Amino acid sequence: MRKVKIDSEIFKKFPRFKRGIIVIEDIQNALGNKRIKKPLNKEIAKRVQEEICEEQSYIEAWEKVHLKFGSDPIKYPPSIKALLKRIKKGGGFPFINSVVALFNYISIKHILSCGGDDVDTIEGNLCLGYAAGNESFIPLGSEEEEHPQIGEVIYFDDATLKVMCRRWNWRNGAFSKITEKTKRIVINIDGIDSIPQSAIIKARDELAELLIEQCKAKLITDFLDINNTEIKIDI
């Protein structure tokens, strides 16, 4: 029985980390969906025009966390910062498929780091922990293998030591990417320090509703924090 697990060592340094979870058992993941494109494009246009006010603290919280585990948030920006920076440049981002579009939509709407992985490509547990340095990472869009730095926070398959995401929420790995053929998925919505639990749960539940409505998803939701460090995902 596989799990999503957060190493206890993470909570020793980051006791206020919390993660909203969506576990999808089955889904119809189309390459295009006008009902998703419309609100996504509307949210992109909104973010281009406005300055981020109170939610700026969400980005600053992640920048401080990256510095704390030894990563430069300017050179390796947290995912939500990178998404917003891309939008501000006027480029938007492509519609990969319905699931990816929906969690990108939720991410920029709520200013939260959000990502997902194809469970059927992962052999062991999905673990968030510190890198030993021998783990394997091939970035999305690349074929070249890298290795995380010792002590870097990574999200990885503990059976194969393949990395799904480097520097906590900086860059995704190629092997677990979500495609139109993907059926089983774990989606994470992360927050830390000043980011309230209520904001994460609100975003998680909104995304879950959209996945059911737009993609006919069969799913469950859960929540991880210092008091609940792992959940079973083989539903």
Pick from 192, 184, 188, 193: which is nearest to 223 by CA?
188
**3-class DSSP assignment, residue 99:** helix
- Summarised one tens digit per residue, pLDDT across range 171-214 is 999 999 999 999 999 999 999 999 999 999 999 999 999 999 99
Q: What is the pLDDT of residue 113?
A: 95
| Domains assigned to the chain | 3-232 (3.50.40.10)
**What local confidence, expressed as pLDDT, does residue 48 receive?**
78
**Res 235: pLDDT:** 66
Q: Are 20 and 223 a contacting pair, CB within 8 Å?
A: yes
Cα dihedral sign, 143-144-150-153: negative
Tally of CB atoms within 10 A around 235 = 12
Q: Which pLDDT belongs to residue 94?
A: 83
For the record, the structure tokens of 25 come out as 């058992």
Q: Please tell me the predicted confidence (pLDDT) of residue 211.
A: 97
CA dihedral 47, 63, 137, 109 (to 10 degrees): -20
Residue type, 35: R
pLDDT of residue 86: 86
d(CA 67, CA 181) in angstroms, rounded, equals: 37
Task: State pTM to two decimals.
Answer: 0.95
Give dist(CA 134, CA 143) in Å, integer.
18
pLDDT score, position 5: 98
pLDDT at 91: 67
Walking along the chain (235 residues) 10 residues at a time, the average pLDDT comes out as: 96 98 97 86 81 73 96 95 86 87 94 96 98 97 95 98 98 97 98 96 98 97 98 87
